[in-house]
Amino acid sequence: MTLKKAYQTLIITVILMMLTIILYALRVTRLKLDWGMTGFVISAILSVFSVVFAIHQNKHQNEIKETNWISSHRFEILDWFSFLSVSLMGIFVLFLFFILPSDVSQGSMTPTLEDGNRIVVYHFNYEPELNDIVIIKITQEEFPELNDTYFYKKKTTCPLIFKFLNDDCITTIVYDRNYQPIMLDAIYFVKRVAGVEGDQVTFIEALDYADDFSDINKKYFIAINDTIYQNPYDEVYELTYQQKAIIEEGLVNQKLPENKLLVFGDNKNNSTDSKNFGVVENDSIMGKVIFKLSPFGGLS
């Protein structure tokens, strides 16, 4: 590494550090990635160390004896070391504030997203819009309707090293020393935005149940702005009387209040969504799914 390149690397490192501080202060994302910030700090320290060491080596080059392979190739080593450090800083900035790769570990969005799919989530200053596929942060405090089992920590064990090579993976609950399930502080759901603030939400009795005099047995279609809601595969959703009541609790004059959203899974027969836990706060939305990495392709 030449002296000029060392100073150039130092400038890039300082710019990335300042950019991170500014973006963090502006709170451009709702995601809090402790591992990402830790990785960025470590990468920044390694980058600064390599630059300072390279500058020192350049200024005292005539005084250092090249007695072994490391000392004779120290500038090439420092060059690669600083390149990797700065590259990692850039990757962590990308993950911390812009996009993040993640896994789908549920079947509620089938067939749009399958269990095990690898996705890319965009989260820079993101505000949810109608029909967006979003990531929702779920906590017991904000979603008391969900029972404890949703928050049990789980692990997946596969007979082969790589999960994608087989279909024999088994998911089990993780227990502590007292054989009690370990509880997670938060879990994440992937859903589609079906309604945004200001949308009118009404319910229509399904004709097959219209003659039933008991409300508890009736089924309802949900209409958003006078249009019966369907998923992208033209499947109409049916709600029970209890599910209807859960959604109605979050409405004001049959409309979604400010900063409230209605979310559903594309898998209408197997999805825990607004019909189970009601309307969702805008602040609970962490980001938008924009792409599938595995299998590679876009979203419908």
pTM: predicted TM-score of the whole model, two decimal places: 0.87
Which residues are bridge partners to 136 per DSSP?
189, 285
Higher pLDDT, 62 or 55: 55
Cα Dmax for the chain:
97
Q: How many residues does the chain have?
A: 300
pLDDT digits (tens, 9 = 90+) for 105-162: 889 999 999 988 999 999 999 999 999 999 999 999 999 889 899 999 988 776 655 5
pLDDT (0 to 100) of residue 56: 77
pLDDT (0 to 100) of residue 211: 57
pLDDT digits (tens, 9 = 90+) for 189-206: 999 999 999 999 999 988
* Percent above pLDDT 70 for the chain: 87
Which residues are bridge partners to 204 per DSSP?
221
CA 115 – CA 270 distance, rounded (Å): 13
Which residues are bridge partners to 155 per DSSP?
172
- Please give the single-letter amino acid code of residue 86: V
With vertex at residue 11, the alpha carbon angle to CA 7 and CA 15, rounded to the nearest 5 degrees, is: 170
CA 242 – CA 277 distance, rounded (Å): 11
Residue whose C-alpha is closest to residue 296's, from 171, 193, 164: 164
pLDDT digits (tens, 9 = 90+) for 231-267: 999 999 999 999 999 999 999 999 999 999 999 999 9
Is the pLDDT at 75 greater than 80? The verdict is: no
